[in-house]
Amino acid sequence: MKSIPLECNRYEFRYPHINTVLLVDVQGDAVTVHASRDSFSPERKASFIRELASEGFIPDEHRWYSSHSFQARHTGITWVVDLSWLRIDERALAQTRRSLMKFIVVGTALLAFMMALLFTDNLGNVRVRSSPVPQRTTREDHPSPNAAT
């Protein structure tokens, strides 16, 4: 008799507001949820499992999963908190490095250009002449029209 390999499906869910990533690993009726942090309460875990079942990610038998069945651990669901499955995508890392290097090169070139302008006296080369200061006139300088000459 030929053996049929079990169907293995993996789904990743991200919750950035609580800084948690979940990996749901489905092998037949067994479901393993790998969490990056222990940030889900038992009620929230039960709700998540019910959502997965109602959306068709895991078998329908888990649709009536409750927090009591999570605590009893007699269901086919295992919840594990570990970071071993998280990997950094090498392509994304390489792209980030290239972008950062471009930013550093452009920033350094811009800084060098501005410093060259400043120190070669091209940046403040406009000279401002002061207007002549008006002389104060006194009464002796301008005789009044009523004065006799």
Residues 31 and 76 sit within 8 Å (Cβ to Cβ) = yes
Q: In 3D, which of 87, 69, 85, 77 has the Cα closest to residue 33? A: 77
Q: Global pTM?
A: 0.54
Burial class (CB in 10 A: 0-12, 13-18, 19+), 59: middle
Better-predicted residue by pLDDT, 110 or 19: 110
Q: Which of 72-76, 130-134, 135-139 has the lowest mean pLDDT?
A: 72-76
> Residues 59, 65, 71, 72: is their CA dihedral positive or negative?
negative
- Please give the average per-residue pLDDT across 100-106, as a whole number: 97
| pLDDT above 90 as % of the chain | 17
Better-predicted residue by pLDDT, 19 or 107: 107
What is the pLDDT, as a whole number, of residue 2? Answer: 43
